[in-house]
Structure 1
Amino acid sequence: MMANKKKLFIITTIPMSFVFFKGQLLVLREKFDITLISSPEAGLYETASFNKVKCYGIKMSREISLFSDVLSLFRLLFYFVKNKPDILHANTPKGSFLSLAAGWLCRVSTRIYYVHGLRYQGESGFKKKLLIAMEKLSCFFATDIIAVSNGVKDHLQQDFITTKEITVIWNGSINGIDLDYFDPAHPDLSNIESAHLIQKYDFVFGFLGRLVGDKGINELVAAFEQLNLEYLNIKLLLVGGYESHLDPLQQETLLSIKTNPNIVHVGFQEDVRPYLEAMDLFVFPSYREGFGISLMEAAAMNVPAISSNITGCNEIIDDGINGFLIPVKDKEAIYLKMKYAIENRLAISKMSAVTRSMIKDKFEQHKLWNKIISFYEGIKH
């Protein structure tokens, strides 16, 4: 009966972040009475309706805004006092900080801080100090801390963010990978090459994610432009939208994307699988990640990768086996590995043959869900 289920409140700053729980919510609702809490946008209500769980909208700003943040804190506090959750599952920096503080104030017995990444790593000066302070407080307010990867766990400890025990569930990642969906043999996959003028003998480099500076897009486009002077049959396929208000690309990069006929920008796509299938090599030169979800998706589609040697990503890519690891913010390293790939297609093909099996062994979704549920049910406070 629903009355016997523990109340689990899952909090994110914006509803878009509930994509991390795709499929998982349907499993969790069998064990818990779930309420989703996020900013009151359409995505919140659509996600709750689809998964047949409760929801409640509380506006939360992604950026630091004192008046707005205090107001959100009190709204969370009043909602928790009224509805008495048993477990808080806090995600994303602002949503976590506010909900964990409110949960601590009203003594929610189990307050889980799920650390998806460390935002302070991409900042400097006063803002970095402020973000570090927020991380420390979020950890202080939490009864249980889960890191999305072993790398995130190491940084939390090395940067003296917390001395509490930190858990990594199985091999990390918040939701694993759905190998039935991300399957190059899936019958629903469409052929997108002809629609984007990709020829049979083109070598296709690809990127999936937000087109912003800290994803390394400036370096990636510059490296491709250099390669494009040397090789004819190459393409760069960019899947994702801009976030100009947060982290705009350089004007030179934007001009290249717009004017180079060998750079194909398709914007945000609901179904990314046909675009991953069209790629020969995924390129992910991000500056910071908690866990490279798109790297897992590419690997499940038999696409090896060039990736920055950063937290999370270096737990997915085994250098020289299913891809290459390169230094952060290094255009020359990106260029050299892309050049190697063009000239050594057989080596890339051999990598493609092992990527999916490596993902299956470490990140298969249903195995991870079972371990997540066992962890939540085993918490005693």
Structure 2
Amino acid sequence: MTIRIANVIEEGKLAGPQVRMVRVAAALRPRAETLIVMPRANSGPFREMCEAHGVPYRALPLTRITKEWRAALAYLLFSPWEVLRLAYLFRRERINLVHASGGSWQYKAVIAARLAGIPAVWHLNDTSTPGWVRRLFQLVQPLASGFIYTSHSVKAYYGQYLSGSRPFAFIPPPVDVSEYDPAAKYSGDEETIALFGDDLVIGTVGNVNPIKGLETLIRAATRLRGLGHAPHVVIVGPIFDRQRGYHRRLLALADELGLDRLHFMGARVDVRPLLARFNVYVCSSVSESWGMALWEAMAMACPVVSTDVGDVARHLRDGEAGFIVPVGDDAAMADRIAEMLDAPARRASMGLRAREAAIPFSPERIASETFALYARLLDK
């Protein structure tokens, strides 16, 4: 019998959690049929990805909390009605289990599942949240039937707020190494890549926001000049309105340090052409639960230098597929990047090991681990 899952997220922008939802939903078939529920706002690329993978979805008028007072007021006013609407949808679609994605602040699906009399698994994927989110999570978490933790660091972060013993699993996001193949040719960004010529390129992928620690990357790139290198520094990812101020501060820092080979590329539907051109991939994040972009880069055989965030150190042996440096340590980051740039043969060897490290996290394996937890919750 095929079970019916409603996988709900309250953020429509296409990012790591949304990509994970689609990939796992596609790999779960035919064991489970997943209905993805998302907000109407800002979800165009998310819907397109669902359609490309044949995953059914519903786009509802779900509000999300922001610092803007009008959005915050709408969130408070409409959240109760949105919870009721979700509960009605679960009953109408004969959902067997609700999967609440997106992190601890996305609680509506958990409450709606309880109202509909359906078990819910809460997918936690963050290690840094405001105090009010933690307090809200502590109030709502008894309603969840089980939990998925993206990494061990996530479980450690939320452990103090949990009551009772319930099923859980450590399930990282998937990376499809067949889609991220360094031997394939990918079209796109040809003009930009041509501008790099034969110069060295280091880069990163992710939304431009303070959690990504991009100041550390800029300072490390500046230090590289003293180590004999002046690579292009490429940052791929959208700059949302609420992060325009942060972007301006990064540009001012680069100008102050004299870093003139810094490129903010904006969002990309397909990052693979740029990943294929990177000589070294850099994760400078202050906090990450997992870092999907890092693993996609590794699948593309990019050797990596990463801050010690999430479970990176559990799966990436320092000095084999890349290097791990302390959070915020631009000097150590520069030294490790220079070490790679100085040794092309070693860099290539580390890239191959990086790809090998990514292979186990296939969508099929991640879907199987997810289904196993679903089955445990439904058997209770």
TM-score, normalised to structure 2, is 0.84
2:69: which partner in 1? none
Distance of 1:277 and 1:14 partners within structure 2: 29
CA displacement at 1:191 relative to structure 2: 7.7
CA contact under 8 A between 1:60 and 1:94: conserved in structure 2?
Answer: no
Larger relative contact order, structure 1 or 2 (CA cutoff 8 Å, min sep 6): 2
Gap change, CA 1:354 and 1:219, over 3 Å in 2: same
Distance of 1:292 and 1:369 partners within structure 2: 18
CA contact under 8 A between 1:218 and 1:250: conserved in structure 2?
Answer: no
Distance of 2:241 and 2:189 partners within structure 1: 30
Determine helix, strand or coil for the equivalent of 2:106. Answer: helix
1:61: which partner in 2? 64
Q: Say how many residue pairs are matched.
A: 364
Distance of 2:60 and 2:150 partners within structure 1: 25
Distance of 1:103 and 1:24 partners within structure 2: 21
Q: Unaligned stretches of 5+ in structure 2? A: 67-71
CA contact under 8 A between 1:207 and 1:238: conserved in structure 2?
Answer: yes
Determine helix, strand or coil for the equivalent of 1:184. Answer: coil
Distance of 1:102 and 1:68 partners within structure 2: 14
Letter in 2 for 1:328: V
For 1:209-220, list aligned pairs within 5 A: 209-220=206-217
CA contact under 8 A between 1:6 and 1:33: conserved in structure 2?
Answer: yes
Pick aligned residue for 2:86 from 59, 76, 83: 76
1:295: which partner in 2? 294
For 1:37-186, list aligned pairs within 5 A: 37-41=37-41, 42-43=43-44, 45-50=47-52, 51-63=54-66, 65-93=75-103, 96-108=106-118, 110-120=119-129, 128-157=130-159, 159-165=160-166, 167-169=168-170, 172-174=171-173, 176-186=174-184
More off after superposition, 350-359 vs 16-25: 16-25
2:337: which partner in 1? 338
CA contact under 8 A between 1:13 and 1:62: conserved in structure 2?
Answer: no
2:254 aligned with 1:251, yes or no?
no
For 1:193-232, list aligned pairs within 5 A: 195-200=193-198, 202-228=199-225, 231=228
Distance of 1:7 and 1:352 partners within structure 2: 40
2:272 aligned with 1:262, yes or no?
no
Distance of 1:8 and 1:114 partners within structure 2: 14
CA contact under 8 A between 1:193 and 1:199: conserved in structure 2?
Answer: no
More off after superposition, 271-280 vs 255-264: 255-264
Determine helix, strand or coil for the equivalent of 2:148. Answer: strand
CA displacement at 1:72 relative to structure 2: 2.5
* Superposition RMSD in Å: 2.8
Q: 1:73-111 deviations in whole A, cap 9, x for unaligned? A: 233234345545210010013673111012223321x21
Pick aligned residue for 2:373 from 372, 375, 378: 375
Q: Unaligned stretches of 5+ in structure 1? A: 121-127
Letter in 2 for 1:225: T
Determine helix, strand or coil for the equivalent of 1:297. Answer: helix
TM-score, normalised to structure 1, is 0.84
Distance of 2:269 and 2:312 partners within structure 1: 23
1:124: which partner in 2? none
